[in-house]
């Protein structure tokens, strides 16, 4: 356990995810300073700042990097994540570490890909699916993502497809079960390709109903719930083991805000306690202590499931 007298971790965002991050850090005896987005400049004296508010994050990440503060971002917005990747040189110059996409998808998905890869001689396909949302901002972001343009990695080329297309029935761990999932505007393929550049195919899908897809191009008519119910994550990795094709499927069924809170908190601890190289990283990359972060996430009560059978 880390001492509470060590330099603090800052949290921007007082919503569902921010409160879960604070809960996880408090349970480990780590002091954290929580402020709203409008008062983010009060965290310039922190070692690490976790951005747990609604997107976009790139501008604030740039501000903290300029102040020499390491950052963990939970943003899952495509354009926002691309903008944060472009801050790599600035982070190296300021000698600070930035972990982007420290949520569920992306985030835990990258950790699971890294974990599962050890069961293969080589991997060539990763297919990720997610069900559910965290807080209200997450729900709005997911609503918009179903109306945008989805990107995917296919045989060494980036492809664009309309979000909401490409229906696929995906099985999540109980109690979520089987859900129809569709392409959506997610940064996940970009981040997974950074983990394993040799991959041939990467897709990311989200569960949606007919109503979700029909109303995606309109403003949300009813305000989202304060927090989504039990969500799910499913990571399917294909590759070669013992000279034969092999598939591993792992997943979790948990409230996504809790998963995101645990991943973000453990990422911030990793930034503080490990000698992470300066620059922009995402979970799953070899430069990140993935095993330590995954162990920390599972220690918070997140149960990992593996699909066995055909």
Partner 1 sequence: MGSIPFSPTTFPNEETTMKFIRQVLLALSIAAAVAAVLRTKSTPVITSEQGGWREVTPQR
Residues that bind partner 1 (CB under 8 A): 115, 169, 171, 173-174, 178, 250-251, 291, 294-295, 298, 303-310
3 state DSSP class of 241: strand
Say which residues have a Cβ less than 8 Å from residue 273's Cβ, sequence separation at least 6. 2
C-beta of residue 146 within 8 angstroms of C-beta of residue 213: yes
CA proximity to 192, closest of 79, 283, 256: 283
Closest approach, Cβ 253 to partner 1, in A, equals 8
The answer to whether the beta carbons of residues 205 and 182 sit under 8 Å apart is: yes
Query: Minimum distance between the CB of residue 57 and partner 1, rounded to whole angstroms?
Result: 29
Considering only CA atoms, which of 280, 248, 260, 149 is closest in space to residue 204?
149
**Closest separation in Å from C-beta 231 to partner 1:** 15
CB of 310 to partner 1, least distance (A): 5
CB of 308 to partner 1, least distance (A): 5
Nearer to partner 1, 57 or 127 (CB): 127
For 116-161, the three-class secondary structure string (H helix, E strand, C coil) is HHHHCCEEEEEEEEEECCCCHHHHHHHHHHCCCEEEEEECCEEEEE
Q: Least Å distance between CB 286 and partner 1?
A: 16
As given in the structure block, the two tokens for residue 222 are 């009813």
Separation between Cα atoms, residue 205 and residue 169, nearest integer Å = 10
Take residue 53 and report the two structure tokens written for it: 């508010």
Q: Of 111 and 126, which has the nearer Cβ to partner 1? A: 111
Closer residue to partner 1 (CB): 222 or 308: 308
Please identify, using beta-carbon distances, which residue of 102 and 112 lies nearer to partner 1.
112
CB of 254 to partner 1, least distance (A): 12
Q: Are 6 and 216 in contact (CB under 8 A)?
A: no
């Amino acid at each position: 356990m880390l001492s509470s007298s060590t330099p603090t971790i800052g949290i921007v965002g007082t919503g569902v995810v921010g409160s879960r991050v604070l809960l996880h850090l408090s349970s480990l005896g780590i002091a954290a300073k929580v402020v709203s987005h409008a008062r983010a400049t009060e965290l310039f004296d922190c070692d690490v700042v976790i951005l747990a508010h609604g997107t976009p994050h790139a501008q604030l990440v740039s501000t903290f990097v300029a102040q020499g503060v390491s950052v963990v971002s939970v943003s899952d917005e495509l354009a926002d994540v691309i903008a944060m990747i472009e801050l790599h040189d600035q982070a190296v110059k300021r000698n600070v570490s930035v972990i982007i996409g420290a949520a569920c998808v992306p985030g835990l998905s990258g950790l699971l890909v890294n974990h599962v890869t050890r069961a293969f001689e080589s991997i060539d396909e990763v297919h990720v699916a997610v069900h559910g949302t965290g807080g209200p901002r997450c729900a709005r972001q997911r609503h918009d993502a179903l109306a945008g343009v989805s990107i995917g990695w296919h045989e060494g080329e980036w492809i664009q497809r309309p979000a909401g297309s490409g229906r696929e029935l995906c099985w999540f761990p109980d109690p979520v079960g089987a859900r129809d999932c569709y392409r959506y505007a997610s940064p996940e393929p970009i981040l997974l390709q950074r983990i394993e550049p040799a991959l041939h195919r990467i897709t990311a899908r989200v569960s949606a109903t007919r109503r979700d897809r029909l109303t995606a191009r309109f403003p949300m008519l009813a305000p989202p719930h304060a927090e989504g119910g039990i969500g799910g994550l499913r990571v399917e990795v294909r590759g070669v083991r013992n000279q034969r094709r092999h598939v591993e499927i792992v997943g979790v069924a948990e409230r996504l805000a809790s998963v995101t809170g645990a991943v973000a908190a453990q990422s911030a601890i990793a930034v503080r306690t490990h000698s992470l190289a300066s620059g922009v990283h995402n979970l799953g990359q070899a430069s990140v202590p993935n095993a330590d972060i995954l162990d920390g996430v599972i220690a918070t009560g997140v149960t990992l499931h593996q699909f066995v059978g055909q």
